[in-house]
Amino acid sequence: MMKLMFASDIHGSLPATERVLELFAQSGAQWLVILGDVLNHGPRNALPEGYAPAKVAERLNEVAHKVIAVRGNCDSEVDQMLLHFPITAPWQQVLLEKQRLFLTHGHLFGPENLPALNQNVSLSSMP
């Protein structure tokens, strides 16, 4: 069975990235799903602890072949220049055990506001 690990809102924090990568290695998951806000903290947010977006990109690029990501409200096309996996899609779909999962950051889509999908999908949100 395919196993996924989910992360979100790293916001360029190197300590958060190191923890995500540690948990990913321990989890036995085949894919690391990042639901947006990878490198940038955004203009409304304070700088996170250990803010080092270039180093975060470097560390995540080490597992780029195992990452599925979507764009968050703080991600930009400039961020994509540092990352070796795509982050510009506002949503993705993953087939897991005959169930389609709809992946999004949550700032553009939600249960009442979905893009045109041609089959049933499972929806969930991260707190």
| Cα 95 from Cα 63, distance rounded (Å) | 21
Which residues does 38 contact at the CB level (< 8 Å), separation at least 6?
10, 11, 12, 56, 57, 60, 69, 72, 75, 79, 83, 87
Q: Kindly report the CATH number that applies to the domain delimited by 4-104.
A: 3.60.21.10
The residue extents of the domains of the chain are 4-104
- Residue 117's pLDDT is 65
Q: What is the pLDDT of residues 12-32, one digit of tens each?
A: 999 999 999 999 999 999 999
Q: What is the pLDDT of residues 42-97, one digit of tens each?
A: 788 889 999 999 999 999 999 999 999 999 989 999 999 999 999 998 888 888 78
In degrees to the nearest 10, what's the CA dihedral of 125, 85, 20, 47?
-80
104, pLDDT greater than 90: no
- Residue 120's pLDDT is 61
Backbone angles phi, psi at 23, to 5 degrees: -65, -40
126, pLDDT greater than 60: no
